[in-house]
């Protein structure tokens, strides 16, 4: 198997690794957001799987439960769930990350599980909307409670040693992703935005020991002298906003010769961020939960954190410099209020400082009329070239 085969894992819900895992009667736990402590799921000997909407074709089933004001990404995942495409899940973990996602818990509880012959285990985490000491301590407790529930519900022992081991594995995984992010921002990038998203998606659908092996192979592949490189990049773009799990969307942005060299999306680059976004100093770093709290909470780049906007802005600005960004694509899925309002602020602040040019896009999860989008991107690239 060549190193790049790993990328293909993003185009299927059931990848080869997952299939084998299930065949060995091992458990899979689904989750929605980056703020879920997958480490604990992993330490419990299960496969944490980030739910996505890959290959969804319509909303026929999901629309029978949701309203026209729901985010079409969550709607698409529900459609797949209702089509039974996620029947490999033994449980699901949801948090109060956004209004659309958190209600999936209720939909499972009041509908999907009720109608199913194999109801799955449901877990919930309440996460703070502020960076502060109280929040940190609360998350610490939530992790403990989650671990207990997971053990009780699925009858699995999770000890501290396992958590520590998992932390090492996850740390390594983040380092590897970070390394690949470096290849992205080279003057002649080794990979484009489409491929990076594919890697990120694949990485969130397998156990991390497997992922690390694959990522190492990929790094070797990109590192070779005769390895791939992208020449004559027309513009270096940064992509921000609502969740994206569909490489085809980035493909449209890159269609005219631009490359998305950085994205800061929750489904992608946020996994490999270098410095902590926010940090609670008075905590014992020997605590096995420490790196987990830092990852899911301290590094939560999401606009759901109400006092985190300036920290997020700083990171964006820093990344613009590092990745030598020419233009920003700000996109919002319809009905995503969190990113919608955040995009508004980013755009205004960028304009105020006469910063990087921005193209704002509102979109639906299902890519319909890509022609119009392509035309807008082309016009934006021309604008970048003129400036």
Partner 1 sequence: MKANVKPVEMLYEASQTTLGLIEGAVPKHEMQILKSFFRCMESNLRIKLEQIAEGKPIIGHHFAFPSEVFSCFDAVPICVEAISYLFSALFTTGSEKYYDLANSWGHPYHSCTSQKGMIGMALEHNFIDFDVIAIPSAPCDNTIASYQFFSEHLNIPTIVADMPYYHNSRGYEYYSNELESMIQELSTILNQEPNYERLRQSIIYSNHAVENLAEINNLRRSIPCPVESVFNPIGSAVQNFFSGQVEKEIFYNEVLEIARERVRTKKAWRETDERVRSFWPYMSVFFDITFCEWLDRKLGMPIVTDIFNYFFFGPIKNIESLDTKGMIDGLAYQSMEYPMVRQSESFASVFFEDAVNLAHQFSADCAIFTAHIGCKQSASMIQLMREILKEEVGIPMLTIEMDIGDKRMTSLETIKKKVLEFTQTLL
Partner 2 sequence: MICGIDVGSILIKAIVLDEKNSNDIVLQEIGKSIGNPEESVTTLINNIRKKLRLKKRDLQIAFTGRNCENLTMNPKIAELNCLAEGIHTSSDHNRIIVDIGGFTNKIIKIDETGRIMDYLMNNICSSGSGVFISLICKSLGIDIMEIDTYAFKSEHPHPISSQCSIFAETEVIYLMNEGKQIEDIVAGACKSITGRLIPLILKIGREINQVLMLTGGLAKSEFIKQDLMEQLHIEVKNPSIDPIFTCAYGCARSLQNTSKEEI
Question: Which residues of this protein are in contact with partner 2, per CB under 8 A?
Answer: 57-64, 68, 364, 366-369, 371-372
Q: CA angle, 182 as apex, 303 and 174 as ends, to 5°?
A: 60
* CB-CB neighbours of 118 under 10 Å: 8
Q: Which residues of 257-268 are buried (b: 16+ CB within 10 A; e: fewer)?
A: ebbbbbbbbbbb
d(C-alpha 386, C-alpha 218), whole Å: 36
Q: Which of 115, 232 has the CB closer to partner 2?
A: 115
Q: Which of 334, 378 has the CB closer to ligand SF4?
A: 334
Q: Which of 271, 380 has the CB closer to partner 1?
A: 380
Cβ contact 356:350 at 8 Å: yes
Q: Which does 70 bind (CB under 5 to 8 A by kind): partner 2, ligand SF4, partner 1, none?
A: partner 1
159-198 footprint of partner 1 as x/- string (CB under 8 A): ----------------------------------------
Least Å distance between CB 27 and ligand SF4? 25
Q: Which does 333 bind (CB under 5 to 8 A by kind): partner 1, partner 2, ligand SF4, none?
A: ligand SF4
Q: How far is CA 312 from the centre of its chain?
A: 16
d(C-alpha 86, C-alpha 101), whole Å: 16
Put the strands of the sheet holding 327-333 in their side by side order: 258-262, 235-241, 327-333, 358-363
Near partner 1 in 274-333, by CB under 8 A: 303-304, 306-307, 309-310, 332
Please report whether residue 92 would count as binding ligand SF4 according to CB under 6 A: no
Which of 46, 66, 292, 373 is in the footprint of partner 1 by CB under 8 A? 66
Q: Please return the burial class of 225, using the count of CB atoms within 10 Å of its CB with bins 0-12, 13-18 and 19+.
A: exposed
Q: Which does 134 bind (CB under 5 to 8 A by kind): partner 2, partner 1, ligand SF4, none?
A: partner 1
Least Å distance between CB 281 and partner 1? 18
Please report whether residue 100 would count as binding ligand SF4 according to CB under 6 A: yes
d(C-alpha 234, C-alpha 254), whole Å: 9
Please report whether residue 70 would count as binding partner 1 according to CB under 8 A: yes
Cβ contact 29:41 at 8 Å: yes
Q: Which of 138, 221 has the CB closer to partner 1?
A: 138
């Amino acid at each position: 198997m060549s190193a790049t085969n790993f990328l293909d894992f993003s185009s299927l819900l059931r990848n080869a690794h997952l299939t084998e895992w299930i065949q060995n009667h091992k458990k899979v736990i689904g989750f929605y957001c980056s703020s879920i402590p997958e480490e604990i799921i992993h330490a419990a000997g299960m496969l944490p799987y980030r739910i996505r909407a890959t290959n969804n074709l319509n909303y026929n089933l999901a629309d029978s439960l949701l309203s026209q004001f729901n985010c079409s990404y969550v709607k698409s995942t529900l459609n797949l769930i209702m089509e039974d495409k996620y029947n490999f899940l033994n449980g699901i973990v949801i948090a109060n990350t956004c209004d659309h996602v958190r209600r999936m818990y209720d939909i499972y509880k009041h509908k999907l599980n009720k109608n199913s012959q194999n109801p799955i285990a449901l877990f919930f985490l309440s996460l703070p909307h502020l960076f502060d000491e109280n929040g940190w301590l609360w998350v610490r407790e939530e992790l403990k409670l989650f671990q207990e529930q997971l053990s009780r519900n699925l009858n699995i022992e999770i000890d501290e040693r396992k958590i520590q081991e998992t932390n090492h594995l996850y740390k390594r995984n983040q380092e590897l992703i970070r390394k690949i992010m470096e290849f992205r921002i080279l003057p002649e990038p080794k990979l484009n935005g489409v491929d990076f998203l594919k890697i990120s998606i694949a990485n969130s659908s397998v156990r991390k020991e497997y992922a690390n092996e694959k990522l190492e192979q990929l790094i070797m592949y990109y590192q070779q002298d005769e390895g791939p490189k992208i020449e004559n990049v027309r513009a270096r773009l940064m992509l921000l906003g609502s969740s994206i799990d569909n490489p085809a969307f980035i493909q449209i942005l890159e269609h005219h010769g631009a490359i998305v060299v950085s994205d800061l999306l929750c489904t992608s680059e946020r996994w490999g961020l270098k410095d902590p976004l926010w940090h609670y100093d008075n905590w014992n770093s020997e605590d096995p939960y420490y790196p987990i709290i830092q990852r899911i909470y301290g590094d939560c780049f999401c606009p759901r954190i109400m006092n985190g906007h300036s920290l997020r802005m700083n990171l964006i600005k820093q990344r613009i410099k590092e990745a030598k960004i020419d233009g920003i694509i700000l996109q919002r899925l319809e009905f995503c209020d969190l990113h919608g309002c955040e995009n508004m602020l980013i755009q205004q602040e960028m304009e105020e400082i006469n910063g990087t040019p921005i193209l704002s896009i509102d979109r639906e999860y299902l890519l319909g009329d890509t022609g119009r989008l392509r035309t807008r991107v082309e016009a934006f690239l021309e604008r970048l070239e003129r400036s």
